Homo-oligomer: A and B are copies of this chain.
Amino acid sequence: MALRTIADVGEFAFLSRLLPRLRAGRGTVVGPGQDCAVIECGGRWLFTIDALVEGVHFESGWLAPRQIGRKSLLINASDIAAMGGQPRFCVVNLGVPPSYPVRDLHALQRGIVAAAARCGASVVGGNLTRAARLSVSIALLGAAPRRLVTRQGARPGDRIYVTGTLGDAALAVRHLSAGRAGKLPVHVLRRFREPTPRLHAGRILVESGIVSAMIDVSDGLHQDLGHVCTQSRVGAAVRVDQMPLSRAYRALLGADPWLALQGGEDYELLCTIPERHVKKLKGLHARLACPITCIGEIIAGRRIQLRDDRGLITHVEASGFDHFRMRRRQGS
C-alpha cells in the first residue's frame, strides 16, 4: 500500500489531527491552532511564525527583493493584528540559493527591517542558510492586549464582519500568473505585494470588548471563516451579495464573489460580533480608520451557507487555499 502523502491529506486535515495531541505546557495561555500562541513570560505575549517561499507564495519576478522582505514581516504582523496585539521583536531565518545576488539580499533585509520599524517592532536576530529556493521565515513576538480573542468564541446569532475589501490580492495573483499584471491598476497589485496588516483596527476591536472571535483572512475568506466555524463549533450564513469588493474588482469581475470567497492573502480581519454589541461597533467606525462590512451571521450547525438577496445558493464545507492541494491556483 502506498504511503499517504501530505498532498493526499492536505494541510488542514493534517493539522486537525495533530493539534489535539499537542499539550499546552507551563506558561502557555493559548497553544497551537490560533493566529498566535499566547504565553506568560513576565506579562502576556503573542508568539507566531510564518514563511514566504518562492515557488509557493510567489514566483520569481512577482516581487522585488525589498517587497519580499516587507511582505514576510507584514504577514506575520497580520497574525498579531488578529489577536489585537502590538508587534515588538522578531527573528528571521533566510534560506537563500547560492546564486542569489548580495545586493538583492541587502535589499530584502532592508525591507524586513523597514516593515518591522513601521509596525513598532525590531529585528533582534537571524540565521542565514543555503536553500534551493528563496524562503523567509519570521517569528514575531508581540505584546498581548488585556482581553483574549481567539477563533473559538463565535456563537449563533453573532454578526460576521470583515475589514477593507476582499479578492484584490487573488486578482493580482491571477494576473501575475498569466503574465498580465500590466493590465491591473498598481493599487490592486499592491494588495498582493505590500499587504497592510490591520494592527490598529485589530487593537481597537479587541480592546472594545465587542468581538467574540477574530482571525486574519490569509487563506481566503471561505477557508478562514471555516477555521472560526470549526473551532467555535458553529456554522455561518454568508451574504455573498454583501461582500466588500473593490471598484477594480467589480470593474473586472462584476458582482461575482467567487474569487473574493476563495482567494487568499487579503490580510483583512474577519470578526464576529454579538448582535447586542453591533451598535457599539457603529460608534467605533471613525477610530477603526478602515471600512468594516457585515457579510452574514453565525448559525447553528457546521456548514457555511452562501446566500444572496433571493435566499440560499449552496451549502459548502470549509475550504480555500491549501498549499498542498492548490485549490486556489486551480481556480484561477
Contact = CB atoms under 8 A, between A and B. Distances in A.
Interface string A168-192: 0000000000000000000000000
The dominant DSSP class at the A interface is mixed
Contacts of A139: 49, 91, 93, 137, 139
Range of interface residues on A (Cβ < 8 Å): 35 or more
A89 B49 contact: no
A182 to B, nearest CB: 26
A124 interface: yes
Contacts of A89: 27-28, 37, 39, 41, 47
Contact of A91 (B14, B48, B97): B48
Given A34-B125, A137-B137, A323-B129, A103 B4 contact: yes
Interface in A313-332: 323-324
Interface in A107-160: 109, 113, 117, 121-133, 135, 137, 139, 141, 143
B47 A125 contact: yes
A5 interface: yes
A50 B127 contact: yes
A53 B28 CA distance: 28
A61 interface: no
Contacts of A102: 3-6, 8-9, 14
Copies in the complex: 2
A106 interface: yes
Contact of A37 (B49, B106, B124, B137): B124
**A3, A37, A137, most chain B CB atoms within 10 A:** A137
A105 interface: yes
Contact of A101 (B4, B93, B101): B4
A18 interface: yes
Contact of A135 (B42, B100, B135): B135
Contact of A141 (B4, B18, B47, B117): B47
30 contacts: A4-B101, A4-B103, A5-B99, A5-B101, A6-B96, A6-B101, A6-B105, A7-B98, A8-B102, A9-B102, A14-B105, A18-B106, A24-B124, A25-B124, A27-B88, A27-B89, A41-B42, A41-B45, A41-B141, A47-B124, A47-B125, A49-B93, A49-B126, A49-B139, A51-B137, A53-B129, A56-B129, A56-B131, A93-B139, A130-B323
